[in-house]
Structure 1
Amino acid sequence: MQFTTFSITEKGYSLRDSKDQLTPLALEDMQGRSKPKTNMGAITYLLYARFKAGKFPIAMVSTDNFSENGLKLQEAILTIAKAWVENEIVEQDFYDYLINPKKVSFPWSMIDRITPNPSEKVAELLTADGFEDTEILHSQKHTNIAPFGNTEEVHYLVIEDAFPNGRPALEKAGVILTDRETVNDADQMKVTACLNPLHTALAIFGSLLDYHSIWEEVANPDLLALIKNLGYGEALPVVKNPKIINPTEFIDQLLTKRLPNKNIPDTPQRIAADTSQKIPVRYGVTIGHYIANPRFSVKELEFIPLVIAAWCRYLIGINDELESFSPSPDPLLEELQAFVAEVKLDGSQKEIHEILKPILSNHQIFPHEMYQTGLAEKIETYFEEMIQGKGAVLATLQNALKKHGKNY
């Protein structure tokens, strides 16, 4: 065996809860190795078996869609292994084996392929083509499980070329092999500039404007103009080019081929989940680049503040037609909704600053001082425009595009 890959979602690597405390299952695994309760405990146990069989080298390749995935896998494995050594369950030599990159490596990767929940529409098409098993199971966590997947043709897989036991010619299958820094640059390009920020903008405005598919959203010229100005206008100028993927061409492909794909049943509601956790990376990194680079002024930004204002408006749970909707799951939803619970949508609301300040001053969501940058005032202004009654969200978007938008 040369390597093993993982696709278990980011939560599958976690040994800690929301308060950064080790979970009871993790603590149980750290006390013994024979009956692991966590994914990481089981993997550490298998690595120990490989170690005992001959200290054979192996690459442990995470292909889950989050930044620095190899590091998170490595840290989790080492956390358990260190506890085993301290508890005299295994020998120190095992830990030394794990931290020797010539024996065990944890390559970083960047993966990009839009893969929404299995769709009833796709199931119907497969049934018509003669597939017998297309039943979709619906879990209590509102995810769909099926014997098929629906995904797009376009895909990227970039992996750090660190395989101590060799590897097959993965590049022949379209995998890009490179160094760790380049993997991280490609990931940052996608997550902070060229895909994820645009996705979140569509998710927020799509929910407010009562859209239920991404492809329908990008058919709306106003929403398409929004993400063009967000991507080409505000993110591209400050993102680092990873060289292996051209950022401009990446956005070109996203806007012309990927997002308009009617066969990818993706929804703004799916993407809107956990937005409070996504803002620091999807918008905070670009804001940080504008603050740090003397060639730019953070006060030039218009569409990032517009999206954040729309998110604050989204938290109210009433769309642009003044109809109630259920915001997507978010660990901070209840806390954040309390700040906007009494907001009036008839244009009579005062004290916008007092309402939004607790949200915009939350460093967990906004790592930069939003009031010192001047962006908070823009967000408050846009938010006030969006609560002027029915249709105010769309009107605010159109006015912003008219005043600040460019034709890309």
Structure 2
Amino acid sequence: MYHREACGVGIVHLGVGNFHRAHQAVYTDEVLARQSGDWRILGVSLRSENIARILNEQDGLYTLLIRGEGGTHAHVIGSIAGAVAASRSLAPVLTALISPKTRIVTLTVTEKAYGIDRASGAVSSLHPAVMHDLANPDQPAGVLGLLVWGLRHRRQRQLAPFSVLCCDNLPENGRLLRAGVCDLAERTEAGLGGWIAEHVAFPCSMVDRITPSPTDQTLRDAALATGCDDLAAVETEPFSMWVVEDHFPAGRPAWERAGALMVHDVAPYERMKLRMLNGAHSLLAYAGHVAGHAYVRDAMRDDALSRRVDEYLRAAAATLQPLPAVDFSTYAADLRRRFANPSIAHKTSQIAMDGTEKLPQRILEAAADSLAKEMPTKIFAFATAAWMRYSLGITDAGEQYDLNDPRAGEITSAVRRVSGAPHAPDLHSLRSYAVHASALSAALMGLPGLFPPSLLQSPAWREQVSGYLRVMLDKGMTAALQDAD
């Protein structure tokens, strides 16, 4: 371990969850171990007070378990200097945002936390955090409000603005975040949005590392490896990728020394990851969970589902432009190995959550591109139908589950309108939904702003989706996977 006390805090991270601790914090830790520097991280938890308390009790230290075919390797990560629970104590967060030492603010808060309309880039006035921050700009609760507060006060104090680095799975995430921040800022103070647009850097990034939720086994293995109880331990796979647009006027860690790719344009890498890894992952999650597979590794042992994944990866790769030094066939083979890693217990339910936030960029954009290029769309239609089947909230074995989607209410209402039933389907009534497959498919496609117009206007696409959904409902997911050959 390097001399942590000699390294000052230069990064504030919003959303100090499992993924951040397995990804960005690890890259920064390696940089600090190699060349020191004032780049330690103040973690901000926006929802849970628990992780902030645990990290502080452990002086920011935690165990990273890397699980692969060769066994499990443990590393103690020291790049987090401390953590703050914003819901409990806002003042330390605001103080850090206006500290001259803070040069970068990074974020991993998941898609639904931003409250930005993806089509327009404007903030959603119905988003709870946006509503709060518009009404209470000096006591922000959401990520956009915190960023606007920090940048507004730095401007007032004539301090150089920090760079804002989004690390969530969003297309052109830096540009989207910039648009949302500028819009909220302009609604807060005339001229502030324009100043931010001119002076603040919002580089894009692409992140890639499978990180399941920690389990009791994670904690036991961390204690066995370190001799210490570690309630902040996190586990992940050996593979890790980080592609970052190299635009940091206030400076940055030398992340390239830890293996990050610092590039001029992130978009092609981002598109590859979203369509291949994330799209195939979503297919595995929707179909796998309905078929009764609790973990991705189990779903990959299902031969029919594994063949669908192969088909999906080939179709997604066909929608991409060639990338220097990247072979899509090799990348697809790597993805298959990663999905099948027996040491990673990644729940299908974890991947399937927030489907309406993920479906457009992971599956629907690739489908629309394939349609425009007159390439086959059937595997994208199958994946879409699997999402629709998953949206009924019940497995083929009759186990009911929470959709955990920001538009769950709209989905449930659409399903009940079509079926005429006052309650969610149970095992007894599930097959009866097959007669409503076309209407159910149309109702879910009709959710505002979810599906691209080109897909909605294609009778062939709509028939593909409803046809697959009908088989899933009538015969079950396993039969649908086999019939798709």
Residue identity opposite 1:3 in structure 2:
I
**Matches for 1:10-159 after TM superposition, within 5 Å:** 10-14=111-115, 16-17=123-124, 19=126, 23-30=130-137, 33=138, 35-56=139-160, 58-86=162-190, 97-100=195-198, 103-135=199-231, 147-159=232-244
How many pairs align?
Answer: 367
Write the distance in 1 (CA, Å) between the matches of 2:169 and 2:380: 23
2:263 to 178, 181, 194: 178
Residue identity opposite 1:218 in structure 2:
M
Conserved? CA contact 2:391–2:403, under 8 Å: no
Per-residue CA deviations over 1:250-281 (Å, capped at 9, x if unaligned) read 2221112x112233221111111122333222
2:321 pairs with 1:240: yes
2:108 pairs with 1:7: yes
In structure 2, the partner of 1:253 is: 334
In structure 2, the partner of 1:266 is: 346
Write the distance in 2 (CA, Å) between the matches of 1:215 and 1:222: 14
Per-residue CA deviations over 1:138-170 (Å, capped at 9, x if unaligned) read xxxxxxxxx122222211111111122343432
In structure 1, the partner of 2:359 is: 279
Residue identity opposite 1:27 in structure 2:
L
Write the distance in 2 (CA, Å) between the matches of 1:55 and 1:305: 51
Q: Aligned-pair distance for 1:185? A: 1.7
Structure-2 change in CA distance of 1:17 and 1:119 (3 Å): farther
Structure-2 change in CA distance of 1:80 and 1:359 (3 Å): closer
Structure-2 change in CA distance of 1:304 and 1:79 (3 Å): closer
Structure-2 change in CA distance of 1:119 and 1:340 (3 Å): farther
Residue identity opposite 1:269 in structure 2:
S
Of Structure 1 and Structure 2, the greater strand share is in 2
In structure 1, the partner of 2:30 is: none
Structure-2 change in CA distance of 1:202 and 1:46 (3 Å): same
In structure 2, the partner of 1:400 is: 484
SS of 2:164's partner is: strand
Segments of 5+ residues of structure 1 without an aligned counterpart are 87-91, 136-146, 402-408
Q: Aligned-pair distance for 1:55? A: 4.2
Conserved? CA contact 2:151–2:161, under 8 Å: no
Write the distance in 2 (CA, Å) between the matches of 1:308 and 1:107: 31
Structure-2 change in CA distance of 1:18 and 1:219 (3 Å): farther
Segments of 5+ residues of structure 2 without an aligned counterpart are 1-100, 117-122
Q: Aligned-pair distance for 1:361? A: 4.2
Q: Aligned-pair distance for 1:349? A: 5.2
Write the distance in 2 (CA, Å) between the matches of 1:68 and 1:40: 17
Normalised by the size of structure 1, how large is the TM-score? 0.79
Write the distance in 2 (CA, Å) between the matches of 1:372 and 1:77: 36
Write the distance in 2 (CA, Å) between the matches of 1:327 and 1:304: 24
Conserved? CA contact 2:283–2:383, under 8 Å: yes
Residue identity opposite 1:9 in structure 2:
T
Structure-2 change in CA distance of 1:69 and 1:316 (3 Å): closer
Q: Aligned-pair distance for 1:373? A: 4.2
Structure 1, 334-343 or 168-177: larger mean CA deviation: 334-343
Write the distance in 1 (CA, Å) between the matches of 2:484 and 2:157: 64
**Matches for 1:219-238 after TM superposition, within 5 Å:** 219-232=301-314, 234-238=315-319
2:246 to 142, 161, 169: 161
Write the distance in 2 (CA, Å) between the matches of 1:195 and 1:303: 15
Write the distance in 2 (CA, Å) between the matches of 1:8 and 1:395: 37
Conserved? CA contact 1:231–1:251, under 8 Å: yes
Residue identity opposite 1:129 in structure 2:
A
SS of 1:110's partner is: strand
Residue identity opposite 1:70 in structure 2:
G
Normalised by the size of structure 2, how large is the TM-score? 0.68
CA RMSD in angstroms comes to: 2.9
Residue identity opposite 1:252 in structure 2:
A
Structure-2 change in CA distance of 1:65 and 1:387 (3 Å): closer
Q: Aligned-pair distance for 1:229? A: 0.4
Write the distance in 1 (CA, Å) between the matches of 2:393 and 2:162: 49
Give the % identical residues.
23
Write the distance in 2 (CA, Å) between the matches of 1:355 and 1:3: 46
Q: Aligned-pair distance for 1:189? A: 1.5
Write the distance in 2 (CA, Å) between the matches of 1:168 and 1:348: 55
Q: Aligned-pair distance for 1:54? A: 4.2
Conserved? CA contact 1:316–1:340, under 8 Å: no
Residue identity opposite 2:400 in structure 1:
F
Structure-2 change in CA distance of 1:36 and 1:329 (3 Å): closer
Residue identity opposite 1:159 in structure 2:
V
SS of 2:189's partner is: helix
Q: Aligned-pair distance for 1:74? A: 2.1
Conserved? CA contact 1:230–1:304, under 8 Å: yes
In structure 2, the partner of 1:195 is: 277
In structure 2, the partner of 1:404 is: none
